Amino acid sequence: VKKESRINEYKPRNQFVYLAILPAALIMSIVLVVPILFNIIGSFTNMDLNVPLNKSNFVGAYNYISILKDTNFWTIVLRNLWWTIAVLSFAFIIGLVLAIFLKDQKFGKFFLNIWIVPWAMPEITTAIVWVILLSPDFGPFNFLLKNLHIISTPIPWLSSGRLALWGVIITAVWKFFPFNMAMIYSGLQTFPEELHDAAKVDGVNAWQFFWHLQLPWIRPVVSIVSLLGFIWVFNWFSLIYAMTRGGPGGSTDILAIYIYKRAIEYFHTSEAATLSVLVLLFMIPFIILFVRYNISKKEN
Partner 1 sequence: MKKISWSFLSSVIILTIIISFTLIGCKATETTVTTAVETTAAVTTAVETTAAETTAVETTAAVEHKSLLTEEPRVQTIEFASVVDVNDPSLPYGTARKEIADNYMKLHPNVTIKFTYIPYADFFPQMVLRVAAGNPPAIMQHGYATSEFVKSGLLVDMSSYLEQSGWSKDDFWPGIWDLTTYNDKQYGVPFTLDTRTLQYNADLFAKAGINPPETWDDLIKNAKTFKDATGANIIGTPSSLVWEFITPLVFSNGGQWIIQDDQGLWKANAESTEVLEAVAKAKELSDSGALIPGWLGDDYTVIMNLFYQGKIASWINGPWQFSTYDTEKKAGTFNFDVGQALVPMMKVHASVSGGWSWYTMKSPSNAWDTDVCWDIINYYLQPENLAKGWFDSIPPTKDYSKVIAANDNRYDIVLKTLENSQFPLKVLPNFWEMLDTIVKYSTQAIQGTKTIDQSMKELDVELQKLLDQGENASIKEAKGL
Q: Which residues contact partner 1 by CB under 8 A? A: 14-16, 19-20, 23, 49-52, 135-137, 153-162, 164, 244, 247-251, 261, 264-267
How far is the C-alpha of 159 from the C-alpha of 149, rounded, in Å? 22
Task: Kindly tell me which of 136 and 220 has the beta carbon lying closer to partner 1.
Answer: 136
Least distance (Å) from partner 1 to the CB of residue 171? 13
Tell me how far, at minimum, the Cβ of 127 lies from partner 1, in Å. Answer: 13
Question: Considering beta carbons, is residue 75 or 113 the nearer one to partner 1?
Answer: 75
Q: How far is the CB of 146 from partner 1 (least distance, A)?
A: 11
- Cβ proximity to partner 1: between 71 and 205 the closer is 71
Residue type, 146: K
- Taking the complex as a whole, the smallest distance from the CB of residue 158 to partner 1 amounts, in Å, to 4
Closer CB to partner 1, residue 21 or residue 291? Answer: 21
**Rounded least distance, CB 264 to partner 1, Å:** 4
By C-beta, is 118 or 248 nearer to partner 1?
248
* Cα–Cα distance, 226 to 182 (Å, whole number): 13
Pick between residue 102 and residue 155 the one whose CB is nearest to partner 1.
Answer: 155
The minimum distance between CB 267 and partner 1, in angstroms, equals 6
Amino acid at 94: I
